[in-house]
Structure 1
Amino acid sequence: MGAYRIAVYGTLKAGRSNHHYMANARYLGEDWFSDIVLYDLGPYPGARREPSNGIRVEVYAVDEATFGEVDALEGYRPEAPDDGLYHRRLVSTRHGMAWLYLYNHSVEGCPRLDAGDWGATPEEHSVQERS
């Protein structure tokens, strides 16, 4: 168990609509990245590598089956990583190296979030920005 680590920032986080994919995962903790921003794509966010004021992620250890399910959910195409909905890159977290899914398509016109947590209420953003 836990052959892979993934850093999640949207619907896979605890309490969100796709967290059930993490049923067999082990939660390792959270981390903050100041080199990604999130774009609100409507039902889910898309991360891009751009400077930010800190985006919160949750890091999980997952088995191979869960890793494959998350790849499919994220539209990751191993045969053409830059052509899928998302591609993934290894990033350094306080819990070790983890895969982070980055959005491949245009974010023009999408609201940008460069601090806090996607899907949080404005009050939660205020609290997170102070922490």
Structure 2
Amino acid sequence: MPAPALAIRRTPLVAVYGTLKRGLRNHHWLDGADFVGADRLTDATLYDLGPYPGARLEPSRGVEIEVFRVDASLLAGLDRLEDYRIRRPASGTYDRVVHPTAFGPAWLYLYNRDVAGCSVIREGGWSPHARRSVV
């Protein structure tokens, strides 16, 4: 899979599903990024962690993402925000993987921590105001 990873380094795309989406509190981390479009992933499930969500690669009925084109500097900032550790990805809060989207391969941050007791979102999107039951 070297080709997609190489291509994404040249024109990085990032798929976001939580507080980085347009209109939400951390979207300012994407200032200067180009919005590419919205998509739905059926092989990702979101977990409501309270102040933000975490994604896991698990089947769903389609969770909503937004895709942005970012430069290396913005990507490095997102890595800091998401506590992604390039040398030891499993030790950070999130791992970053290349994942297919309707717009081509994009970086997707996957949650590394325990999700026991968290509400599951298998369809639609995460909202900071939603009240969900634990499933």
Q: Same fold by TM-score, threshold 0.5 exceeded?
A: yes
- Among 107, 111, 134, the residue aligned to 1:99: 107
Task: Report what 1:31 is aligned to.
Answer: 39
- Quote the Cα distance in structure 2 between the aligned partners of 1:28 and 1:98: 11
Identity level (%): 47
Across the aligned residues of Structure 1 and Structure 2, the Cα RMSD in angstroms comes to 1.3
Between the aligned partners of 1:76 and 1:120, the Cα distance in structure 2 is: 22
Q: When the two structures are superposed, what TM-score results if normalisation uses the length of structure 2?
A: 0.86
Distance 2:111 2:59 in 1: 15
Code of the aligned partner of 2:72: E
* Residue among 56, 69, 94 paired with 1:86: 94
Q: CA deviation at 1:3?
A: 2.7
Provide Cα deviations, 1:2-33, integer angstroms capped at 9, x if missing partner.
Answer: 73110000000000000001111000001110
In structure 1, runs of 5+ residues without a counterpart are 123-131
Residue 60 (structure 1) shift: 0.2
The answer on whether the counterparts of 1:3 and 1:64 sit within 8 Å (CA) in structure 2 is no
- The 4+ residue runs of structure 1 with deviation greater than 4 A are none
Aligned amino acid, residue 56 of structure 2: R
Q: Number of aligned pairs?
A: 121
